[in-house]
């Protein structure tokens, strides 16, 4: 059933102009569904869901690209068991590379060129960086013309590190070589998050793969080294979320990506989109501060939680332990500015008592919004209110005594 489902999927996406390559199937996603980067729940509404598949499909839908993307994995089969994932071995990656090349990159670029695309921008994430690099090494610019390579959360340094430690730098190695030889005019932009464990910092080349990471690529780059534009970004400052968080980072990744695609032969300055450099800088800095603040509060809350558990363990009774925990968390400072956006109004209008309540917090937005009026109807008071969702509700309550 899974092979038939995959065959139908490949037939349906045969003309897709975009290829998105991930590392390997997950035990809750492709292993069950048979479709790369897709969970069974997304196909049938039942079965397990997978976080990566959910994020990828949501972002593609938001960008209007759901039907224009072919999803694939470097390693087409799940490396692990029914309850866990593991990193693919070198042999599994090597075995999967021919499928990716045959299925994908060269053929997709040919298809784009045949349909009038004059400049191709290749976007690669994680293990897709290894596939892209190996393909660029194997095919020259005449066969595989790529104007720009954009990598995010690259894993090529991990491959180089494993090769060097094993001492297996042999002639013909698929990830060894100077990509500038085959593609002398190609531009390379590398995006990395400081908390992403895959790249673990900016891209650095080695003797067998000469690369130099720079903030801005010089106009005339001569010599044997490929200059790579290095772009650090702030995703979530979270080891578990940063590797998949690029596509949720509008300010740091998606906007620059749009600009680079729109300016395939340049550094993005000639793009028609988001031309205000000051506005882009302000948005990026606001995100950095927002994420830093949330990170600080996560660590502070974690520290208070540990202290509360230790303090509670030293108490003799359950009530004392509960009181101790409450007192400790009561010491957690909350800025008064967080609660400065509470608005309350009341008054009289057309013989009715009117009221309005709105409470909001910075970064979060509106928490409570409630407005309405109270009017007299014979011996009963009628309350007509409009909650935040804008749905009017009507409640009548008898009033005893004087109204």
Predicted confidence (pLDDT) per residue in 269-281, tens digit: 999 999 999 999 9
The closest alpha carbon to 136, from 211, 72, 83, 198, belongs to 211
The closest alpha carbon to 123, from 111, 108, 137, belongs to 108
Share of the chain above pLDDT 70, in %: 81
pLDDT number for residue 374: 79
CA angle, 103 as apex, 101 and 93 as ends, to 5°? 50
CB atoms within 10 A of CB 252: 23
Q: Which residue has the higher pLDDT, 8 or 105?
A: 8
CA angle, 110 as apex, 104 and 113 as ends, to 5°? 135
pLDDT number for residue 380: 46
Average pLDDT over residues 367-376: 75
By mean pLDDT, which of 108-122, 123-137, 329-343 is the weakest? Answer: 329-343
CB atoms within 10 A of CB 319: 9
Predicted confidence (pLDDT) per residue in 308-317, tens digit: 777 767 766 6
Q: Which residue has the higher pLDDT, 228 or 219?
A: 228
By mean pLDDT, which of 119-123, 275-279, 343-347 is the weakest? Answer: 343-347
The closest alpha carbon to 310, from 298, 328, 333, belongs to 328
pLDDT number for residue 399: 32
CA angle, 345 as apex, 341 and 347 as ends, to 5°? 175
Distance of CA 261 to the CA centre of its chain: 18
By mean pLDDT, which of 18-32, 216-230, 364-378 is the weakest? Answer: 364-378
Confidence check: pLDDT of 257 > 60: yes
pLDDT number for residue 365: 67
b/e per residue, 189-202, with b = 16+ CB within 10 A? bbbbbebbebbeeb
Q: At residue 183, what are phi and psi to the nearest 5 degrees?
A: -135, 75
Three-state secondary structure string covering the chain: CHHHHHHHHHHHCCCCCEEEEECCCCCCCHHHHCCCCCCHHHHHCCCCCCHHHHHHHHHHHHCCCCCCEEEEECCCCCCEECCEECCCCHHHHHHHHHHHHHHCHHHHHHHHHHCCCCCCEEEEECHHHHHHHHHHHHCCCCCCCCCEEEEECCCHHHHHHHHHHHCCCCCCCCCCCCHHHHCCCCEEEEEEECCCCCCCCCCCCECCECEEEECCCCCCCCCCCEEEEEEEECCCCCCCCCCCCHHHCHHHHHHHHHHHHHCCCCCCCCCCCCCCHHHHHHHHHHHHHHHHHHHHHHHHHHHHHHHHHHHHHCCCCHHHHHHHHHHHHHCCCCCHHHHCEEEEEEEEECCEEEEEEEEEECCCEEEEEEEEEEEEECCEEEEEEEECCCCCEEEEEECCCCC
Q: Which residue has the higher pLDDT, 125 or 138?
A: 125
Confidence check: pLDDT of 379 > 50: no
Predicted confidence (pLDDT) per residue in 299-341, tens digit: 877 777 777 777 767 766 666 766 776 676 666 666 666 555 6
Predicted confidence (pLDDT) per residue in 99-109, tens digit: 776 566 777 78
Confidence class for position 207, pLDDT limits 50, 70, 90: confident
CA angle, 380 as apex, 375 and 386 as ends, to 5°? 45
Confidence check: pLDDT of 75 > 80: yes
CB atoms within 10 A of CB 270: 12
Architecture of domain 2-275: 3-Layer(aba) Sandwich (3.40)
The closest alpha carbon to 79, from 70, 69, 68, 91, belongs to 91
By mean pLDDT, which of 12-21, 251-260, 278-287, 326-335 is the weakest? Answer: 326-335
Total residue length of the chain: 403
Confidence check: pLDDT of 393 > 50: no
Q: Is the dihedral of CA 3, 7, 13, 15 positive or negative?
A: positive
Q: 28: which 2 tokens?
A: 């809750």
Q: How far apart are CA 21 and CA 71, in angstroms?
A: 6
Confidence class for position 388, pLDDT limits 50, 70, 90: very low
pTM over 0.75: no
Average pLDDT over residues 67-74: 88
Q: How far apart are CA 379 and CA 144, in angstroms?
A: 84
Confidence check: pLDDT of 152 > 60: yes
């Amino acid at each position: 059933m899974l092979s038939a489902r995959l065959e139908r999927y490949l037939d349906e996406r045969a003309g897709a102009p975009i290829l998105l390559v991930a590392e390997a199937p997950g035990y809750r996603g492709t292993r069950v569904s048979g479709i790369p980067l897709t969970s069974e729940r997304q196909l049938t509404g039942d079965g397990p869901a997978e976080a990566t598949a959910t994020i990828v499909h949501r972002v593609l839908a938001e960008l209007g690209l759901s039907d224009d993307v072919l999803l694939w994995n470097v390693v087409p089969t799940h490396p692990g068991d029914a309850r866990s994932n593991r990193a693919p071995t070198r042999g599994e990656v090597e075995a999967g590379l021919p499928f990716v090349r045959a299925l994908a990159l060269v053929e997709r670029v040919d298809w784009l060129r045949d349909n009038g695309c004059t400049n191709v921008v290749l976007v690669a994430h994680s293990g897709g960086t290894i596939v892209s690099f190996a393909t660029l090494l194997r095919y020259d610019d005449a066969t595989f013309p790529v104007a720009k390579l954009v990598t995010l959360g690259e894993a090529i340094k991990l491959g180089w590190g494993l090769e060097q430690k094993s001492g297996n730098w042999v002639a013909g190695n698929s990830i060894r070589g100077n990509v500038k030889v085959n593609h002398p005019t190609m531009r390379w932009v590398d995006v990395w998050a400081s908390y992403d464990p895959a790249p673990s910092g900016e891209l650095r080349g080695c003797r067998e793969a000469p690369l130099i990471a720079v903030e801005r690529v010089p106009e005339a780059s001569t010599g044997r080294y490929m200059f790579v534009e290095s772009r650090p970004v702030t995703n979530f400052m979270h080891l578990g979320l940063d590797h998949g968080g690029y596509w949720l980072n509008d300010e740091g990744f998606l906007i620059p990506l749009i600009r680079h695609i729109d300016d395939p032969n340049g550094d993005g300055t000639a793009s028609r989109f988001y031309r205000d450099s000051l506005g882009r800088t302000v948005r990026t800095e606001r995100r950095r501060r927002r994420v830093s603040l949330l990170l600080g509060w996560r660590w502070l809350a974690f520290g208070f939680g540990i202290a509360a558990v230790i303090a509670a363990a030293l108490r003799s009774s359950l009530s004392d332990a509960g009181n101790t925990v409450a007192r400790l968390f009561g010491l957690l400072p909350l800025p008064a500015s967080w609660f400065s956006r509470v608005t309350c109004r009341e008054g009289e209008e057309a013989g009715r008592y009117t009221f309005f309540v709105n409470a909001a917090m910075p970064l979060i937005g509106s928490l409570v919004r409630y407005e309405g009026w109270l009017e007299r109807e014979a011996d009963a008071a009628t309350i007509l209110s409009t909650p935040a969702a804008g749905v009017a509700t009507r409640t009548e309550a008898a009033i005893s005594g004087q109204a």
